[in-house]
Copies of this chain bind each other. A is one copy, B any other.
Amino acid sequence: MKAQVVFGIDVGGTTVKCGLFTAEGKLLDTWEIPTRTENQGSRILPDVAESVQAKIRERGIQPDQILGLGIGVPGPVNQKGEISGAVNLHWGFKDVAGEMREMLGMKVRAGNDANVAALGEMWAGGGKGASSLVMVTLGTGVGGGVIVDGKIVAGAHGAAGEIGHAAMEPEETEHCNCGNQGCLEQMASATGLVRLARRYLEKSEKDTLLRRGKLSAKAVFDAYAAGDAAAAEIVEEFAGYLGRAMGIIACVTDPERFVIGGGVSKAGQPLLDVLEKYYRRYAFPACKDTPLVLAELGNEAGIYGAARMALD
Contacts and interface: CB of A to CB of B under 8 A. Distances in A.
Interface of A: 76, 84, 132, 134, 144, 146, 148-149, 151, 153-168, 170, 178-180, 182, 240, 244-245, 247-256, 281-287, 290
Nearest to A154: B254
27 contacts: A76-B286, A144-B251, A146-B253, A148-B148, A149-B151, A153-B252, A155-B253, A156-B256, A157-B286, A157-B290, A159-B254, A161-B251, A161-B252, A162-B251, A163-B251, A164-B251, A165-B251, A165-B284, A166-B251, A166-B252, A170-B244, A178-B285, A179-B285, A180-B282, A180-B284, A252-B252, A252-B253
B160 A253 contact: yes
A26 B251 CA distance: 33
Contacts of A251: 144, 159-166
B255 A146 contact: no
A170 B237 CA distance: 12
Contacts of A170: 240, 244, 282
A283 B240 CA distance: 21
Contacts of A284: 159, 162, 165, 178, 180
A91 to B, nearest CB: 15
B254 A157 contact: yes
A130 to B, nearest CB: 8
Nearest to A133: B156
A115 to B, nearest CB: 11
A247 to B, nearest CB: 5
A250 B159 contact: yes
A248 B159 contact: no
A286 B167 contact: no
Given A76-B286, A286-B159, A253 B153 contact: yes
Given A166-B251, A170-B282, 12 more contacts: A144-B251, A146-B253, A153-B253, A155-B287, A156-B287, A158-B254, A161-B251, A166-B248, A180-B284, A252-B252, A252-B253, A253-B253
